[in-house]
């Protein structure tokens, strides 16, 4: 998806229409890069709607770092859970957290004599955070139920997830952050944006820098390296030599090294990695 101001305004408008139908919003983030995978205007768009942050892809993120993010959001009073969108227990997790967040609202409705009703929710997030994967997981349990709701122009489809939870079948797609260079690299390394937007070699050098700083042992182990990390090109050379990615004349084929590194980072060959810490959030963004 290419995002232009017109597209953003339209996405925002469509989401705000649907927001009227739901009790709670699920902000889906990539657990490996929770800040980089957030939409810059999320809170402005959803206003005062209750929000549950769902750190998805927790199965491939560094568990220690994920714990830091959980603490970070909890400290701010922001409800948060981690899931793996493909896993069966994601459903229970989400339902329980939603009930907890909306407990007061539903108790008030009950006290007013209103009939108990399921919680209505919608998923929001930037491309590639796992919105469709999660929706499909939630939908396949019970056959997706459809139903028109009065007062809605376009027929909305609701997926009955649990007795107590209904999900809007189409997630809201929001644009990613564009401003910060670091964010762009994080989105590229994790595969959220197409590799072609940034130069592949820049993405790899960024990722390599991060791995050297945070996961040097994983690099050493995976590529059987000497552990000398002062010179990045020398590290690429070493990986190329060890893997036999050589061109005629014995020169290292860097394109091959880049490709392998990126693929192995994404496919957890270097273990579960995270690329962002709560302390990476610019202070100007702290609200």
- State in angstroms the smallest separation of the CB of 179 from ligand GDP: 21
Query: Which is nearer to ligand GDP, 2 or 75 (by Cβ)?
Result: 2
C-beta neighbour count of 152 within 10 angstroms: 12
174: left (phi over 0), alpha (psi -120 to 50) or beta: beta
70-75: Cβ within 8 A, 24+ apart: 71/278, 72/278
- 167 binds ligand GDP, rule: CB under 6 A: no
When binding is defined by CB under 6 A, the residue of 59, 164, 180, 195 that contacts ligand GDP is: 59
When binding is defined by CB under 6 A, the residue of 42, 70, 122, 129 that contacts ligand GDP is: 129
- Asked whether the beta carbons of 39 and 174 are under 8 A apart, the reply is yes
When binding is defined by CB under 6 A, the residue of 66, 128, 186, 190 that contacts ligand GDP is: 128
- State in angstroms the smallest separation of the CB of 59 from ligand GDP: 5
* Dihedral, 243, 248, 252, 258 alpha carbons, nearest 10: -80
Helix (H) or strand (E) run with residue 177 in it: none
- State in angstroms the smallest separation of the CB of 166 from ligand GDP: 19
What are 124's strand-pairing partners? 27, 172
Span of 51-59, 210-218, 227-235, 239-247 interacting with ligand GDP by CB under 6 A: 51-59
| Count of residues that bind ligand GDP according to CB under 6 A | 15
- Asked whether the beta carbons of 82 and 67 are under 8 A apart, the reply is no
Query: Which is nearer to ligand GDP, 23 or 84 (by Cβ)?
Result: 84
- Which residue lies nearest ligand GDP, judged by its C-beta? 130
- 132 binds ligand GDP, rule: CB under 6 A: yes
Query: Which is nearer to ligand GDP, 139 or 257 (by Cβ)?
Result: 139
Which of positions 106-125 make contact with ligand GDP (CB under 6 A)? 125
- 57 binds ligand GDP, rule: CB under 6 A: yes
Q: For residue 123, what are its two tokens?
A: 């998923």
- State in angstroms the smallest separation of the CB of 139 from ligand GDP: 12
- 270 binds ligand GDP, rule: CB under 6 A: no
In this structure, the strands spanning 24-30 and 119-125 are: parallel
For residue 78, the 8-state DSSP code is -
- 14 binds ligand GDP, rule: CB under 6 A: no
Q: Where are the alpha helices (DSSP H) in the chain?
A: 5-19, 42-46, 63-75, 90-101, 103-111, 131-141, 181-189, 200-214, 216-223, 232-243, 254-266
- 84 binds ligand GDP, rule: CB under 6 A: yes
Residue ranges that bind ligand GDP, judged by CB under 6 A: 56-57, 59-60, 84-86, 125, 127-133
């Amino acid at each position: 998806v290419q995002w232009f101001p017109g597209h953003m305004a339209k996405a925002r408008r469509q989401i705000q229409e649907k927001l009227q139908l739901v009790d709670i919003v699920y902000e889906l983030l990539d657990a490996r890069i929770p800040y980089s995978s957030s939409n810059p205007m999320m809170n402005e768009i959803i206003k005062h709607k209750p929000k549950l942050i769902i750190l998805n892809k927790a199965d491939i993120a560094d568990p220690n770092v994920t714990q830091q993010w959980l603490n970070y959001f909890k400290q701010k009073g922001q409800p948060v859970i981690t899931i793996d969108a493909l896993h069966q227990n994601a459903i229970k997790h989400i339902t329980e957290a939603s009930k907890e967040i909306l407990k007061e609202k539903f108790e008030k409705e009950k006290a007013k004599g209103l009939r108990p009703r399921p919680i209505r929710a919608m998923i929001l997030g930037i491309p590639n955070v796992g919105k469709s994967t999660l929706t499909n997981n939630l939908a396949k349990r019970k056959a997706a139920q459809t139903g028109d709701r009065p007062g809605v122009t376009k027929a909305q489809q609701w997926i009955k997830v649990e007795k107590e939870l209904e999900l809007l079948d189409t997630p809201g797609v929001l644009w990613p952050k564009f401003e910060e260079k670091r964010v762009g690299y994080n989105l590229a390394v994790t595969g959220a944006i197409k590799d072609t937007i940034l130069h592949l070699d820049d993405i790899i050098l960024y990722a390599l820098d991060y791995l050297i700083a945070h996961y040097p042992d994983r690099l050493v182990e995976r590529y059987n390296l000497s552990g000398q990390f002062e010179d990045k090109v020398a590290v690429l050379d070493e990986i190329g030599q060890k893997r036999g990615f050589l061109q005629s004349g014995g020169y290292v084929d860097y394109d091959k090294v880049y490709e392998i590194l990126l693929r192995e980072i994404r496919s957890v060959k270097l273990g579960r990695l995270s690329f962002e810490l709560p302390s990476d959030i610019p202070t100007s963004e702290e609200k």
